[in-house]
Amino acid sequence: MAPSISLKNVSVHFPIYGAGAISLKKTLAASVTGGRVGKETGIRVVQALHGISFELKGGDKLGLVGHNGAGKTTLLRLLAGVYEPSAGQFERHGTIASLIDPSLGIEPDATGLENIMLRGLVMGLSKKEIERLAPGICEFSGLGEYLDMPVRTYSTGMMMRLAFSISTSVQADILLMDEWLSVGDAAFTARAEQRMREVVSRSGILVLASHQPALIAAECNRVINLEHGRIVAQETVQVIDKQ
């Protein structure tokens, strides 16, 4: 089946229990952290997403724009299956590669090699598939002998290199990204940039959240503008020729 995503009037609400003890100041502050604050059956809720509707098919590259707290990351997590809709209909067909947080699932006390196996299992790969991919992941990471050491001994850059190398090693139908990742030193960043372009070119659908208008214009043919968890504008755009 061809990759596709369909959302019809989808909302995501997070209940806040014990909200009666929250001051008015804190309540107002909460209202700008991804949605609006409301009440349902006496329980205060944050309306992180409200009434979201759109459809994507193979070849669509959607850019998500909006201020911090507009709901971009929440929408990506919904598409990844991290969150379930509170209301509406959500359908997704195709395998997912999520770069919302490439370090998610990394175990600090395990070695780099052990984390390749652990992260691969979390991504739904079989042990044989991970063993087949592992040499390429190790080579691309450039971590060498550090792969035999616990990840808690890594610098932040080293940990991100490992996580990025694992996350981008698998072919997927749908690629979800929170900003265009740049990790490590200049040499690795250049290789990461090339790897990302290869992953994007292979994926059937791209959903990219970013604060960089030039990046959205260069990579996406559709744009959705979010504000307080609602779509305030949708448009189809012409992708800039990168040749």
Dump pLDDT digits (tens) for 31-48.
544 555 555 555 678 889
Burial class (CB in 10 A: 0-12, 13-18, 19+), 119: buried
Closest CA to 70 of 116, 36, 41: 36
Mean pLDDT of 148-163: 92
| Other C-beta atoms lying within 10 Å of the C-beta of residue 212 | 14
Q: What is the pTM of this model?
A: 0.79
pLDDT > 90 fraction of the chain, expressed in percent and rounded = 52
Contacts 24+ apart (CB under 8 A), 17-24: 17/43, 19/43, 19/44
Give 6's DSSP letter: E
Closest CA to 198 of 162, 169, 166, 160: 169
Statement: residue 243 has pLDDT above 50: no
Give the pLDDT band of residue 96 (cuts 50, 70, 90): confident
pLDDT tens-digit map of 209-228 = 999 888 898 889 999 999 99
Statement: residue 208 has pLDDT above 90: yes
